[in-house]
């Protein structure tokens, strides 16, 4: 199941049905809590708040992104890619659509992994799913970070992602737009999520790779002891 405790939300998105949990960046209307701003939802049992994004994603051709279907139209899907610019996935760029209703292929609020193939002069972004990395997200977890921290999470020549994958034996796909898909054993996914937030927070510090290696080692050892 995809975790929604930390996800990108837009103004007006429903966050909670308990008005007592309303925190920063939210408003209450008719007993329900809604997002007041676009940002990262941080939700616990007692409170829900929206953290403003410090950096915005500016698309480039070839970028891998993780997006959320916001509208199904006659010729494709409008997709939120955590950017000031709208994105569109045409039918022609989504395999396995022949003879099927678009809602049966992808429906509203579905998460997808896609690639940017074009940007027109008005900054309309065109996506494709004709790539082996692209897929609908039916399982796993989506982690949201500041898009400006993506290069550090990836590491030089992919070193940090290789470290996380190798040490934990999980799948990770990093969207250039700050959304990251993680899949595998739940406990190991938990460790990866914690590690990613550490990388985001300490991106500009020295010795980060060594600290992440040590963090993973300690968390794995603690897990074995508790079994």
- The angle at the Cα of 226, spanning 224 to 227, to the nearest 5 degrees, equals 70
Average pLDDT score, the chain? 89
Nearest to 76 by CA among 66, 88, 85: 88
pLDDT tens sequence across 30-82: 999 999 877 778 788 888 888 766 667 889 999 999 999 999 999 999 999 98
What's the rounded Cα separation, in Å, for the pair 82 and 144?
10
pLDDT tens sequence across 170-180: 999 999 999 99
What pTM was estimated for this model as a whole? 0.74
Gyration radius of the chain's alpha carbons: 18
Bridge pairing between strands 125-128 and 87-90? parallel
Q: Which fold has domain 141-226?
A: Ribosomal Protein S8; Chain: A, domain 1 (3.30.1370)
Tell me which of 3.40.640.10, 2.40.10.10, 3.40.50.300, 2.40.50.100 is the CATH number of domain 8-52. Answer: 2.40.50.100
Tokens read off for 63: 């970028």
What's the rounded Cα separation, in Å, for the pair 99 and 72?
16
User: What residue segments make up the domains of the chain, in order of their start?
Assistant: 8-52, 64-137, 141-226
What's the rounded Cα separation, in Å, for the pair 141 and 11?
23
CA count, 13 A, side-chain hemisphere, 212 = 32
pLDDT mean over 192-210 = 92
What residues have CB less than 8 Å from 50, skipping those under 6 apart?
A: 9, 15, 23, 24, 25, 26, 35, 36, 37, 38, 39, 40, 41, 42
Domain 64-137 has CATH 2.40.50.140: yes
pLDDT score of 214 more than 90: yes
Q: Are 150 and 116 in contact (CB under 8 A)?
A: no
More confident residue, 98 or 165: 165
Neighbours of 184 (CB within 10 A): 16
Interhelix angle 186-201/159-168, rounded to 10 degrees, is: 150
Beta strands in 36-124 (DSSP E): 39-43, 48-52, 64-73, 76-80, 87-90, 111-119
Q: Are 90 and 126 in contact (CB under 8 A)?
A: yes
The answer to whether the 8-52 and 141-226 domains have the same CATH topology is no
């Amino acid at each position: 199941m995809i975790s929604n405790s930390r996800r990108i939300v837009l103004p007006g998105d429903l966050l909670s049905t308990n008005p007592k949990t309303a925190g920063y960046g939210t408003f209450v209307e008719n007993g329900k809590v809604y997002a007041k701003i676009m940002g990262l939802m941080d939700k616990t049992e007692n409170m829900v708040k929206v953290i403003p994004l410090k950096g915005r994603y500016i698309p480039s051709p070839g970028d891998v992104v993780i997006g959320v279907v916001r509208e199904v139209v006659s010729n494709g899907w409008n997709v939120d890619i955590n950017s000031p610019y709208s994105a569109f996935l045409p039918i022609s760029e989504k395999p396995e659509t022949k003879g099927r209703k678009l809602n049966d292929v992808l429906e509203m609020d579905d998460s997808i992994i896609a690639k940017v193939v074009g940007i027109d002069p008005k900054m309309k972004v065109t996506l494709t799913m004709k790539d082996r990395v692209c897929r609908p997200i039916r399982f796993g977890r989506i982690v949201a970070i500041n898009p400006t921290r993506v290069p550090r999470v990836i590491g030089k020549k992919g070193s940090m992602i290789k470290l996380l994958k190798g040490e934990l034996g999980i799948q990770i796909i990093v969207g250039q737009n700050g959304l990251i898909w993680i899949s595998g054993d739940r406990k190991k996914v938990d460790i990866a999520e914690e590690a990613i937030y550490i990388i985001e927070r300490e991106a500009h510090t020295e010795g980060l790779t060594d600290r992440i290696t040590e963090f993973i080692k300690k968390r794995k050892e603690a897990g074995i002891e508790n079994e």
